[in-house]
């Protein structure tokens, strides 16, 4: 990698903006096909929203934590293949013993199997809602949800309001909405559409898959998910430039017919340009490096497209579309203990509570290379819990003083796993919303009506500019698998165009 390039100018076939999994996979695919590439990354590290971190305990011992994306589900086949190809290994999330369900009034239930121990009538309503969503996901699919005849209708109603039209059981609605709202898009269920929820389900194979935590949160990579990006970047060597945010992309010739001298409007490409996707002349200006290339792949989350100046400005459709896609907000909580104490109580560490401050808790104990000096397959003696505080609760927590925030979050986790939860030896909160080059978590999604209006544009190249990101994926939407697929897709589209 090239950490300290000094304001150089270089030429490549393709320049990739962003060294997350999507950008690195695009660069690798292009490089393997014989194209010369440069990857320009704003941060001083690769991996984007996958990030291996450390947290120091009260005794000065450092523990491994994954601050961003970590889990792989069995349907994420492209990522599973790649992990294998890169020589990395995976391990399963601990899931022995009973799980905990907190009902909306805080009642605690221990249960086994995939189904919450809610009242029979609530369970029946949940089954009904899951079936409706499974059917819609199968019918509409993840490829082009905007093109389906029901798209406009389902995109015009919030997921919450839509669920309320299907059921009047508040607890069933809370529990179903958790899987998409706080659990995936990390936005309140009244802020995104039923169509967005169907896309999330279709992308995971079905709504039933989203409901099954043993499916969705199946495996982790030994050495952390970030090691996928680190291994890809190592293959690319000096073609990856770190610490060099892209500021400007010169990408097209203005269309003289758009000039309006009466109103002092200079020519631009407001109506779009011909030859979308084909090679052109691109100059990408970043803090350290300027790259001249035939194509550019923008592999940053869509909420950051507008952080780059385009010369000339993008066509008007994209100006509008890019304003309707925004990041969710979630705090990933990491708490380390001397031992995984919950296991001694016959608990798996898994807990759910629709509408609670911490709505999900899991055993996230490390394995193998994640432990300092650890060997493959070895399990950490320390126990790690991970919890999630989503959307409005995350906002509330970030406004509290640090110690009060910690106590509130630990108390909420203790409701699931008992008083020992209050005494971690190390505690850390992932704060992706404060990161300039991400600005939220986990990913971006459209506002109400946005997917049906603008979704069809998200994967279309404009001139020599191609886009790749997990947030515009069909399979693996908002996940690392989607990022990998997107990187390959953009690279192959570019190769097809010569």
Ligand X SMILES: Cc1cc2nc3c(=O)[nH]c(=O)nc-3n(C[C@H](O)[C@H](O)[C@H](O)COP(=O)(O)OP(=O)(O)OC[C@H]3O[C@@H](n4cnc5c(N)ncnc54)[C@H](O)[C@@H]3O)c2cc1C
302 near ligand X (CB under 6 A): no
User: CB of 449 within 8 A of CB of 146?
Assistant: no
Tokens of 5: 């390039």
How many chain residues touch ligand X (CB under 6 A)? 41
In the complex with ligand X, the residue whose CB is nearer, 69 or 355, is 69
Neighbours of 108 (CB within 10 A): 14
Of residues 2, 50, 122, 326, which one binds ligand X by CB under 6 A?
A: 50
- Distance of alpha carbon 339 from alpha carbon 69, whole angstroms: 24
Site for ligand X in 389-428 (CB under 6 A): none
Of residues 5, 480, 491, 494, which one binds ligand X by CB under 6 A?
A: 480
User: CB of 111 within 8 A of CB of 101?
Assistant: yes
- Using CB under 6 A, which of the segments 124-132, 340-348, 359-367, 480-488 binds ligand X? 480-488
290 near ligand X (CB under 6 A): no
20 near ligand X (CB under 6 A): yes
In the complex with ligand X, the residue whose CB is nearer, 300 or 413, is 300
Closest CA to 184 of 221, 157, 223, 213: 213
- Using CB under 6 A, which of the segments 157-165, 256-264, 409-417, 476-484 binds ligand X? 476-484
Of residues 185, 483, 490, 494, which one binds ligand X by CB under 6 A?
A: 483
- Using CB under 6 A, which of the segments 18-26, 175-183, 273-281, 389-397 binds ligand X? 18-26
43 near ligand X (CB under 6 A): yes
User: CB of 23 within 8 A of CB of 17?
Assistant: yes
- Using CB under 6 A, which of the segments 42-50, 108-116, 258-266, 277-285 binds ligand X? 42-50
Neighbours of 266 (CB within 10 A): 10
Write b or e for each residue in 179-201: b if 16 or more Cβ atoms lie within 10 A of its Cβ, otherwise e.
bbbbbbbbbbbebbbbbbbbbbb
Site for ligand X in 254-273 (CB under 6 A): none
Site for ligand X in 54-73 (CB under 6 A): 68-71
Is 246 one of the annotated binding-site residues? yes
Of residues 145, 223, 245, 383, which one binds ligand X by CB under 6 A?
A: 245
Q: Which residues contact 77 (CB under 8 A, 6 or more apart)?
A: 481
Is 278 one of the annotated binding-site residues? no
In the complex with ligand X, the residue whose CB is nearer, 79 or 118, is 79
Of residues 16, 26, 37, 40, which one binds ligand X by CB under 6 A?
A: 40
In the complex with ligand X, the residue whose CB is nearer, 18 or 353, is 18
- Using CB under 6 A, which of the segments 17-25, 121-129, 142-150, 251-259 binds ligand X? 17-25
485 near ligand X (CB under 6 A): no
- Distance of alpha carbon 419 from alpha carbon 232, whole angstroms: 43
Of residues 12, 15, 16, 23, which one binds ligand X by CB under 6 A?
A: 23
User: CB of 19 within 8 A of CB of 51?
Assistant: no
Of residues 432, 465, 493, 494, which one binds ligand X by CB under 6 A?
A: 432
294 near ligand X (CB under 6 A): no
Closest CA to 30 of 495, 498, 497, 496: 495
In the complex with ligand X, the residue whose CB is nearer, 140 or 432, is 432
- Using CB under 6 A, which of the segments 88-96, 357-365, 419-427, 431-439 binds ligand X? 431-439
Of residues 356, 479, 485, 489, which one binds ligand X by CB under 6 A?
A: 479
Site for ligand X in 436-465 (CB under 6 A): 437-438, 441-443
Pairing type for strands 98-102 and 347-352 reads parallel
Is 91 one of the annotated binding-site residues? no
49 near ligand X (CB under 6 A): yes
Of residues 98, 108, 161, 307, which one binds ligand X by CB under 6 A?
A: 307
User: Closest separation between CB of residue 101 and ligand X, Å?
Assistant: 22
In the complex with ligand X, the residue whose CB is nearer, 300 or 385, is 300
In the complex with ligand X, the residue whose CB is nearer, 19 or 202, is 19
Of residues 80, 102, 284, 300, which one binds ligand X by CB under 6 A?
A: 300
Is 42 one of the annotated binding-site residues? yes
User: Burial, 267: exposed, middle or buried (Cβ in 10 Å; 0-12, 13-18, 19+)?
Assistant: middle
Tokens of 210: 């989203």
183 near ligand X (CB under 6 A): no
466 near ligand X (CB under 6 A): no
Annotated binding site: 41-42, 246, 388
Give the interface with ligand X as residue ranges (CB under 6 A): 17-23, 40-43, 48-50, 68-71, 245-246, 299-301, 304, 307-308, 332, 430, 432, 437-438, 441-443, 469-470, 478-481, 483
Annotated binding site for FAD: 41-42, 246
Annotated binding site for substrate: 388
């Amino acid at each position: 990698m090239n950490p300290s390039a000094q304001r150089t100018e270089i030429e490549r076939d393709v320049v990739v903006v962003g060294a997350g999994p999507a950008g690195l996979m695009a660069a690798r695919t292009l490089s393997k096909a014989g194209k010369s590439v440069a990857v320009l990354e704003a941060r001083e590290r690769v991996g984007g929203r996958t990030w291996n971190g450390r947290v120091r305990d009260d005794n000065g011992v450092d523990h491994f934590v994954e601050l961003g994306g970590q889990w792989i589900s069995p349907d994420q086949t492209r990522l599973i293949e790649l992990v294998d190809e890169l020589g990395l290994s995976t391990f399963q999330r601990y899931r022995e013993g009973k799980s905990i369900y907190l009902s909306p009034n805080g009642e605690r239930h221990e249960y086994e199997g995939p189904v919450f121990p809610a009242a029979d009538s609530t369970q029946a309503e949940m089954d009904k809602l899951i079936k409706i969503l499974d059917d819609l996901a199968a019918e509409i699919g993840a490829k082009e949800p905007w093109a389906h005849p029901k798209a406009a209708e389902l995109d015009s109603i919030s997921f919450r309001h839509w669920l309320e039209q299907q059921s009047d059981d508040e607890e069933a609605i809370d529990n179903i909405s958790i899987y998409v709202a706080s659990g995936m898009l990390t936005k309140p269920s009244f802020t995104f559409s039923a169509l967005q929820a169907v896309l999330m389900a279709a992308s995971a194979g079905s709504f039933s898959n989203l409901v099954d935590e043993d499916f969705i949160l199946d495996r982790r990579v030994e050495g952390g998910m970030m090691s996928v990006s680190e291994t890809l970047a190592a293959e690319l060597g000096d073609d990856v430039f770190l610490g060099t945010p892209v500021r400007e992309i010169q990408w097209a010739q203005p269309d003289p017919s758009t000039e309006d001298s009466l109103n002092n409007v200079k020519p631009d490409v407001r109506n779009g340009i011909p030859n979308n996707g084909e090679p052109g002349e691109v100059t990408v200006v970043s803090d350290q490096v300027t790259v001249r290339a035939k194509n550019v792949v923008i592999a940053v989350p869509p909420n950051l497209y507008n952080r780059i100046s385009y010369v000339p400005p993008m066509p008007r459709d994209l100006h509008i579309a890019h304003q309707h896609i925004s990041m969710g907000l979630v705090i990933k909580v990491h708490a380390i203990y001397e031992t995984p104490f919950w296991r001694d109580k016959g608990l798996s560490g898994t807990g759910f509570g629709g509408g609670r401050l911490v709505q999900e808790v899991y055993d996230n104990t490390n394995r193998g290379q994640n432990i300092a000096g650890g060997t493959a397959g070895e399990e950490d003696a320390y126990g790690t819990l991970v919890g999630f505080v989503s959307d409005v609760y995350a906002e509330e927590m970030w406004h509290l003083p640090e110690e009060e925030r910690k106590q509130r979050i630990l108390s909420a986790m203790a409701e699931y796993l008992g008083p020992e939860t209050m005494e971690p030896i190390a505690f850390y909160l992932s704060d992706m919303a404060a990161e300039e080059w991400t600005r939220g978590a986990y990913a971006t999604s459209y506002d109400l009506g946005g997917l049906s209006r603008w979704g069809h544009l998200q994967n279309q190249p404009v001139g020599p500019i191609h886009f790749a990101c997990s947030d515009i994926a069909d399979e693996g939407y908002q996940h690392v698998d989607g990022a990998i697929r997107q990187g390959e897709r953009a690279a192959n589209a570019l190769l097809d165009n010569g």
